[in-house]
Structure 1
Amino acid sequence: MMGQGLIIGVLDTGINPKHPSFNDTNMPPKPSPTKWKGRCYAGFPCNNKIIGAKAFNGGSHPSPEDTDGHGTHVAGIIAGNFVKDANVLGMAKGDPASGMAPMAHLSIYKVCFPKIGCVEANTYAVVDQAIKDGVDIISMSITGFHNDTFYQDSISMASIAAIQHGIIPVSIAGNDGPETGTLSHSAPWVLTVGASTTDRRIASTVELGDGRTFLGESAYQPNHWNSTKKWGLEYLGKNGDVSASYCLPSELAKFNLRGKIVICEGGMVTDEIRGKAAYLAGAEGMIVINEPYRDTPLILLFTFFRHQI
């Protein structure tokens, strides 16, 4: 029930063990040595939730600490423990919130690193280790290439060994949809998971001067934002400058955007990076326009104020 007794191996960017989703309150003790043979990196704060943690990088074993955030996010979705009053900057509150299998144990395998990404040799090494450790399920949220054949895809190849040992291999469909022919990790022996949705949306509405409105989403909606005041809009890509259209920091630094809301196209850099650059350029806010083919809200609104950072 709720994953109790299961050991789920997570291949990703590591984990932040201090995140509240990985406390071991009310967790059962880790399985006996006859079942579980995994170990934790020396000094890593494992508990009854995180019972194994190791990193694989070309034959070396550095810290499995997550410096990216993706692995922590994935592990929380899979088996995060119950967290009271979970929220995003005060919004979308859930009490309590948890992963899909909150009573399952986690064994973390860091295979993805900054600059080098997720090297295939590391993936093979980790799956071998996870089999020896005794996991029940292996989660591999690592994007592949949708044109890869089975033998070119390290996830598909490594999963053969996993399933032969009675371990369920789970991976992702990738981020190249929704067009046809964009599925990654499509081997029939892999449980490939597509995108889903939630029952909550942090809605944000942009109203233009002519009265037209556009629905978007934003996790940053300060209570003291004056929604009645009209701000000028600035689209830096209006002259065909691609770098400016994506609001790259090097381009934003060339402009004085004080008193304006800047419009950016999504992609190339994270919204956090472009948002900070927009703030430094004096912008009162930022609107990010998603790619037309994405099945997502048209805009994301992020507001920044001169006195807040």
Structure 2
Amino acid sequence: MAGRALLILAAVLLLCAAECRLVHAWKRSYVVYLGAHPYGREATTEDHARATESHHELLASVVGSKQAARDAIFYSYTKNINGFAAYLEEEVATQMAKHPDVLTVMPSKMMKLHTTRSWGFMDMERGGQVLPDSIWKHGKFGQNVIIASLDSGVWPESNSFNDEGMAPVPKRWKGSCTDTAKYGVPCNKKLIGANSYFHEAVTLGSLHATIHGVAVVCSGGNAGPFEDTVVNSAPWVTTVAASTVDRDFPDQLTLGNNATMRGISLEASDLHSNKLFPLINGSSAALPNCTVNLATNCATGCLDPAKVKGKIVVCVRGGDVPRVMMGMTVLNAGGVGMILANGEMDGNDIQADPHVLPATMITYTEAVSLYNYMSSTPEPAANISPSKTELGVKNSPSIAAFSAHGPSGTLPYVLKPDVAAPGVDILAAFTEYVSPTEVAADKRRSEYAIMSGTSMACPHVSGVMGLLKAAHPNWSPAMMRSAVMTTARTQDNTGAPMREMDGKEATPFAYGSGNVHPNRAVDPGLVYDITPNGYFTFLCSLGFSTKDLSRLSSGKFTCPAKPPPMEDLNYPSIAVPALRHRMTIKRRLKNVGRPGTYRASWRAPFGVNMTVDPTVLIFEKAGEEKEFKVKVASEKDKLGRGYVFGKLVWSDGTHYVRSPIVVNALD
């Protein structure tokens, strides 16, 4: 009997425990929103403490005690909004919602950031979660690191500059926000300084910064895809090219013969999927006061409303008419949609735009098929589907068509750009003084915009540099650049070599060392370091004198009697712009990892004999440096091919320290 009673008691206890767990499981997180605080931005810590206490008192009036309220509340909003987050049972949440001081009670949900795809694409996070080996963690999320950005302006009101949760401004910061501009820029703990700057010599200013241990990252320019267009090619700056991410904004163009074409757009409005609309070329709808060429490009005021009304208009890209303006011209003339067709020169380079009406942009190949269809029937018709977001796009990354290419016409002895980073269709904070299209007639405003350019790629690398600085405070700017370059990837997400937008295989003149791989950069194994004297010696090789460099070096540097070849600058890549018969290039590697044995492997550029001496480097401690030589010699029967490309890799089996090699064999 006693044993049976014990069994019943045990069962009751287990049931109670299960019920207790069940009751706890029904609790979920809620946000109790109370509106705004009575105080403003000048609130004191005492104000914040009183707000927190008032939250405890409010919840206690429902749950029965302050202690229970303190246990339930896990966050009080005491700065920008008034409210708190708490684990509550559904009944308690319902009661709270009825309280006269409460505006609303919302279930707290895990949200994905409405930000660019690039951080996930670069493996720094996945599904909004930071991975254990991410550079985010190694770099302490950039704690105590200051990043300066030179750009066309800043919109401080953007939520991107909200400083809630940020640590105090580093005490070493001596800057400020300008108060002389027409519109003052408010500083906070995230945006810690803002000033106007003049078009000073970036090359000189960046050298001063580098000498003082500041890494400088610059965009490579948007004059691609032609060679010899890269800018910011000084060896003391990191020059960035633009690449794509694995995200597109496709829509579908359906023709009257049931053929479909894939286009691209940021416009998500619908043209009613069950109906086809008449098609007309812009050139066929020209007003008498406009030339056919202007009408072909759908220039402002050139389309005849009588011919365009209710139709989808085909406009040809170009003619110095902004793409979004073409759509506005179609809309103002009564058109219902627009097909923006590439000409032969633009090929397959299509870009997603925030059009003002249903619209799509198609490649030149698709445009030829469209014209063939339109000429095959007296009543061509079509429909444009709303655009959607597509992830996991294959053959990503590829190099953006606009991204400037090397070699540098002013400094061919240094391979530029250095590295590529996401710069196509990047979600960025944007001013609300103008529309995201920057077209005066477009009255739309948005806090964010999808933008493309090497100026979008550059901040990605700046951010990675900031994380590297946090992870390795004693690294020089050259060491950080080396880590980024030698760990970069040259393959896309299918394992194939990275390509240009036209499908051709890209070269180091397009991407430098490859597409940035932040997590690898934090542990590169070996680095190529350059001291300020190394840059001064390079300038001596360029023809500068000791007197010229006296101010830069505070009179502490003297040019060598015989400066070394410019190719000997200890850069992570090797460029030989004028090989005559043979040449020996010197490099030096520094160990920043564990002791290890590194072995060299290489692929010589076509038509060039290449050797490395020695082929094995043994490092016994961190900080140790070893020198090696690369010898290149031209093959007489394979001259005149222009630049050819190869690579050199040092590996200990874990780390792969890769350097691109470009050679132009003349003799």
TM-score of the two chains, using structure 2 as the length reference: 0.29
C-alpha change, 1:253 and 1:191, in structure 2 (3 Å) is farther
Q: What is residue 126 of structure 2 aligned with on the other side?
A: none
Give, in angstroms, the shift of residue 256 of structure 1. Answer: 4.6
Q: Report the alpha carbon displacement of residue 297 of structure 1 after superposing the two structures with TM.
A: 3.5
Q: 1:54 to 1:219 in 2, by over 3 A?
A: same
The equivalent residue for 1:188 is 235
Aligned to 1:91: none
* 8 Å contact from structure 1 (residues 285, 303) kept in 2: no
Residues 1:39 and 1:278: Cα distance change in structure 2 (over 3 Å): same
Residue 223 of structure 2 is matched in structure 1 by 176
Q: Post-superposition shift, 1:299? A: 8.0
**Quick check: 165-174 or 277-286, which moved more?**
165-174
State the partner residue of 1:162.
209
Q: Does 1:41 align with 2:41?
A: no
Q: Which structure's residues are more often helix, by fraction? A: 2
Q: Which residue of 2 aligns with 1:273?
A: 325
How many angstroms apart in 1 are the aligned matches of 2:194 and 2:349?
35
Kept in 1: contact 2:265–2:351 (CA 8 A): no
In structure 2, the partner of 1:220 is: 267
What does residue range 2-81 of structure 1 map to in structure 2 within 5 Å?
2-32=141-171, 35-42=172-179, 43-56=184-197
Please identify, of 256-265 and 44-53, the stretch whose mean Cα deviation from structure 2 is larger: 256-265
Offset of residue 193 of structure 1: 0.9
Are the equivalent residues in 2 in contact too, given 1:285–1:301 (CA < 8 A)?
no
Q: Give the counterpart letter for 1:178 in structure 2.
A: P
The answer (yes or no) to whether the contact 2:342–2:348 under 8 Å persists in 1 is no
Deviations 1:112-166 (A, max 9, x none): xxxxxxxxxx131xxxxxxxxxxxxxxxxxxxxxxxxxxxxx4434422332222
Partner residue, 1:250: 301
Q: 1:123 aligns with which of 199, 206, 224?
A: 199
How many residue pairs get aligned? The number is: 209
Residue 203 of structure 1 corresponds to 250
Q: 1:216–1:298: 8 Å Cα contact kept in structure 2?
A: no
Q: Answer yes or no: is 1:296 the counterpart of 2:435.
A: no
- Seen in structure 2, the aligned counterparts of structure 1 residues 47 and 299 have a Cα distance that, compared at 3 Å, is closer
Per-residue CA deviation, residues 24-71 of structure 1 (Å, 9 max, x unaligned), is 121111111xx2111112242221111111224xxxxxxxxxxxxxxx
- Percent identical across equivalent pairs? 35
SS in 2 for 1:234: strand
TM-score, with normalisation over the residues of structure 1? Answer: 0.59
- Give the letter aligned to residue 174 of structure 2: K
Which structure ranks higher in relative contact order (CA pairs < 8 Å, sequence separation ≥ 6)? 1
Task: Say what the alpha-carbon RMSD is for the aligned residues.
Answer: 2.9
Provide the C-alpha distance between the structure 2 equivalents of 1:52 and 1:298, rounded to a whole number of angstroms: 34
Is contact 1:231–1:259 with CA below 8 Å preserved after alignment?
yes
The Cα shift of 1:14 comes to 0.8
Match of 2:277 in 1: 231
User: Alpha carbons of 1:179 and 1:213: their partners in 2 closer, same or farther (altered >3 Å)?
Assistant: farther
Query: CA offset at residue 247 of structure 1?
Result: 1.9
Structure 1 letter corresponding to 2:330? A
Q: Residue 89 of structure 1 aligns with which residue?
A: none
Q: Relative to structure 1, is the Cα distance of residues 231 and 269 closer, same or farther in structure 2, using a 3 angstrom cutoff?
A: same
Distance in 2 (alpha carbons) for counterparts of 1:157 and 1:265: 43
Partner of 1:64 in structure 2? none
SS of the equivalent of 2:302 reads helix
Measure, in 2, the Cα distance between the counterparts of 1:31 and 1:294. 49
Deviation at 1:295, TM superposition (A): 5.3
- Stretches of structure 1 that go unaligned for 5 or more consecutive residues are 57-121, 125-153
Q: Where do 5+ consecutive residues of structure 2 fail to align?
A: 1-139, 359-443, 445-667
State the SS of the aligned residue for 1:247.
coil
The residue number in structure 1 matching 2:581 is none
**Cα 1:190/1:289, change in 2 over 3 Å:** farther
- Verify the 8 A CA contact 1:289 1:299 in the aligned structure 2: no
On the 8 A contact 2:280/2:313 being kept in 1, the answer is yes
Closer, same or farther: CA 21–266 of 1 in aligned 2, 3 Å: farther
Cα distance, 1:212–1:8 mapped onto 2, change above 3 Å: same
